[in-house]
Structure 1
């Protein structure tokens, strides 16, 4: 009886994506460490799939690699199918805050837009320290159920069910769920697009 090979773990997929992105940019471990503020040893552990990195750590890596956080979860090779079936959509839980993110967009499909669904636990908080990026990243947060407080630089926004916040990821930001129930929201990310000022 032939044994079937187990699918790669999520940490393995992240490891492969970080390795590929770093190689594509011609960055050494030391160069990436300097660029994103993550230690060389931690990046090495992540690239070997031997670490369960937090969302904050992955955001630093993504910024240093010039990509969105969501793209670190993409399929290693582009897919031809433009449909992402619900059963195949990748889910990842942040080991620090416990928030659960699901990449809704087809992984690896060539598009400047990515859609992510997030379930954010009561009283949870995540603070991203990264600021301006090499390429402009536009993001919108649409609250599907519950409430979320988002701080972007000096701006503070409290969003309830149905509210949507548009932003450019160019300042440190944080998410906080002040309620006693899980908040569900969608994040739409657009990279590599230029928008004229109105």
Structure 2
């Protein structure tokens, strides 16, 4: 038990510094930032950031405010409970599957949920004779997509361009026009979709990730 109030204060400060250390580390990891990238964004040296994340310093409010700004959060967020790091592995049994009630196609989200990556992978099982259209024109910022046919044949229309794809073919395009998918064959098709999403608004385009 502490001998006096000063010892109690020291213990409290140590616990709070450890809490802040975990929070800064979790926020940085969730945003995919290296120490070097956060140092560039915040103006706080890499060595100081490393010291903060190891709970080996008692950073000032001004210093923490600069760190928070570099992370794109309010200073108060550094005192929130630390978030658990997202799992980088999505086991096949845990990947959610969803069936479209209209077309009957089955969509499986392959990518790990919540992982800080702009890349998303989806697998689609497409029934014969099915067609689905997406009015995706006018989206803000370029979203790049590639479709790789794993089995069967599909037809993809991007704007006025029609592409007939067979097993093994891969089509790359930008989601800036309406698109449509059709399976005109008499057997199911299966394809993978790789999507690069828009970057988070807090992230500077010159940040080194």
How high is the TM-score relative to the length of structure 1? 0.57
How large is the Cα RMSD of the aligned pairs? 1.6
Shift of 1:108: 1.2
Q: What corresponds to 2:142 in structure 1?
A: 136
Shift of 1:135: 2.2
1:189 partnered with 2:189? no
Tell whether the 8 Å contact from 1:79 to 1:107 is kept in structure 2 after alignment: no
Shift of 1:80: 1.6
Structure 1, unmatched stretches of 5+, are 1-76
Q: 1:163 to 1:183 in 2, by over 3 A?
A: same
1:150 partnered with 2:150? no
Q: 1:78 to 1:130 in 2, by over 3 A?
A: farther
Q: How many residues align?
A: 118
Residues 24-35 of structure 1 aligned to structure 2 (within 5 Å): none
Q: What corresponds to 2:171 in structure 1?
A: 165
Q: What corresponds to 2:125 in structure 1?
A: 119
Structure 2, unmatched stretches of 5+, are 1-82, 200-204
Aligned partners of 2:84 and 2:183: how far apart in 1?
35
Higher Rg: 2
Q: What corresponds to 1:104 in structure 2?
A: 110
Q: What corresponds to 1:85 in structure 2?
A: 91
How high is the TM-score relative to the length of structure 2? 0.54
